[in-house]
């Protein structure tokens, strides 16, 4: 038997249909555990009850601090966090960046609301508690348990709006067969970063997405409006159209870091193309993000620029964070 602290933040798992008002998060985390077996000791704490699309960086920092406090409690063996799927990949990644304990932190949520006849929240929550309680997952960092699969937070991204399992990427560390958890890999984790401070709350890191014919106006506006960093979601392996080499160079000279990602759901940035492609963008000062996708690259950039970090430190952190290799258990 393990002692699990469940932190509630809202999301679809805590939502009911409010007529014409749509889905609204209303349930306390104490309501969500009613269907859990009593195999493990569970304590609960509501941090907030809201849709994750409404979260601000200050909320992410508060969740990270609550998780840190929970794992420091000697009576707690692991932590489960219920969270909306819209921004779960961002909150979970922030926590993984700063997680310094061997105790697992497992995120979960739902695609169907609590009052749906096909509600998936109870099953997902039961799986998350089982994963958090597993001695085999000690030292795995922050994980996401959803639809019978347990993945690392690093590299995770939502690929579907409606699928029962909306996530892809990361490392699949375990899966359920019936009620049995089968561990298949363990993440190789870099050293944890410092916890976010109040400066993190006000960081402005903008994501600019490239497409055919995209000009540099929005990029330049973000820099001139005071962005602390810019994430450029390039095409293909990390390319952009005419003019981006010059505006990246100007941004970097002005002290605004630029991180180069790709808008493609799978695969890394490979800065090989010239004529304004990724090779030229990196030579102009853009920092390649490896296979880290724009939303998670934004969280890492916000965390580091709030501390602050040098471009070299940002590159080192991006290189470490984009590598979610796994070893055998």
- In tens, the pLDDT along 48-90 reads 999 999 999 999 999 999 999 999 999 999 999 999 999 999 9
pTM of the model: 0.95
The pLDDT of residue 324: 53
Token pair for 312:
């070299």
The distance of Cα 213 from the centroid of its chain, to the nearest Å, equals: 30
CA 76, CA 103: separation in Å to the nearest integer?
9
Name the residue range of residue 274's domain: 203-321
Q: Provide the CATH number for the domain around residue 261.
A: 3.40.50.40
One domain for residues 167 and 316: no
Residues noted as catalytic: 12, 85
Q: How many domains does the chain have?
A: 2
Answer whether 132's CB lies under 8 Å from 43's CB: no
What CATH number does residue 35 fall under?
3.40.50.1170
pLDDT value of position 80: 98
**Exposed (0-12), middle (13-18) or buried (19+): which is 29, by Cβ within 10 Å?**
buried
Residue ranges, the chain, pLDDT below 70: 323-329
Please tell me the predicted confidence (pLDDT) of residue 315. Answer: 85
Indicate if 178 and 91 belong to the same structural domain.
yes
Q: What string of DSSP letters covers 121-167?
A: HHHHHHHHHHHHH-GGGTT--EEEEETTEEEESTTEEE--SSSSS-E
């Amino acid at each position: 038997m393990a002692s699990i602290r469940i932190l509630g933040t809202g999301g679809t798992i805590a939502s009911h249909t409010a007529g014409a008002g749509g889905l609204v998060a209303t349930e306390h985390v104490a309501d969500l555990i009613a269907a859990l077996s009593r195999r493990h000791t569970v304590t609960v704490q509501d941090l907030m009850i809201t849709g994750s699309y409404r979260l601000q960086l200050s909320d992410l920092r508060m969740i990270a601090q609550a998780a840190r406090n929970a794992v420091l409690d000697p009576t707690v063996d692991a932590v489960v966090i219920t969270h909306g799927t819209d921004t779960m990949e961002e909150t979970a990644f922030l926590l993984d960046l700063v997680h310094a304990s061997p105790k697992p932190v497992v995120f979960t949520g739902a695609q169907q609301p609590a009052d749906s006849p096909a509600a998936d929240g109870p099953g997902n929550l039961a799986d998350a508690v089982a994963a958090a309680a597993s001695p085999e997952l000690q030292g795995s960092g922050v994980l996401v348990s959803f639809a019978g699969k347990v993945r690392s937070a690093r590299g995770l991204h939502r690929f579907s709006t409606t699928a029962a399992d909306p996530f892809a990427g990361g490392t699949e560390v375990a899966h359920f067969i019936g009620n049995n958890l089968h561990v298949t890999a363990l993440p190789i984790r870099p050293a944890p970063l410092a916890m976010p401070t109040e400066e993190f709350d006000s960081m402005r890191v903008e994501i600019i997405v490239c497409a055919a014919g995209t000009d540099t106006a929005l990029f330049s506006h973000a820099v001139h409006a005071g962005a602390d960093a810019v994430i450029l979601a390039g095409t293909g392996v990390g390319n952009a159209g005419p003019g981006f080499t010059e505006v990246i160079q100007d941004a970097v000279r002005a002290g605004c870091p630029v991180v180069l990602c790709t808008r493609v759901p799978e695969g890394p940035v490979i800065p090989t193309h010239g004529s304004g492609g990724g090779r030229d963008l990196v030579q102009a000062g853009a920092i390649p993000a490896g296979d880290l996708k724009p939303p998670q690259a934004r969280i890492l950039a916000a965390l580091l620029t709030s501390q602050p970090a040098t471009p070299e430190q940002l590159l080192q952190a991006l290189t470490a964070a984009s590598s979610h290799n796994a070893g055998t258990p």
